[in-house]
Amino acid sequence: MPDWVDRAVAREELELERALAAQLSSARHAGPSLTDCADCGDEIPPARRAFGGVTRCLACQTTFEKGNRR
């Protein structure tokens, strides 16, 4: 028989899962990803394209986010 601590922990885990799911769904871009990087032209790996809306390879995206375009 679960006590109040067990129920509180279960509730906290459920709320965390819901919050994470909401954050992930809002962070994903709609639309297809490019197969080749818009900046350098290299192929974007399939695992990265699976996120949707990806237009740059990882290296170019990192450079872009740092504010230094190639």
Please tell me whether residues 48 and 17 are part of one structural domain.
Answer: no
Please tell me whether residues 36 and 15 are part of one structural domain.
Answer: no
* Greatest Cα pair distance in the chain: 61
Q: In the chain, what percentage of residues exceed pLDDT 90?
A: 61
Please tell me whether residues 36 and 19 are part of one structural domain.
Answer: no
Domain holding 14, by residue range, is 1-30
Mean pLDDT of the chain: 87
Structure confidence at residue 63 as a pLDDT band (50, 70, 90): very high
Answer with the residue of higher pLDDT: 18 or 24. 18
Please tell me whether residues 24 and 6 are part of one structural domain.
Answer: yes
Rounded to an integer, what distance in angstroms lies between the CA atom of residue 3 and that of residue 55? 50
Per-residue pLDDT reduced to its tens digit, 30-53: 688 999 999 999 999 999 998 888
Please tell me whether residues 70 and 39 are part of one structural domain.
Answer: yes
Please tell me whether residues 4 and 19 are part of one structural domain.
Answer: yes
Please tell me whether residues 15 and 38 are part of one structural domain.
Answer: no
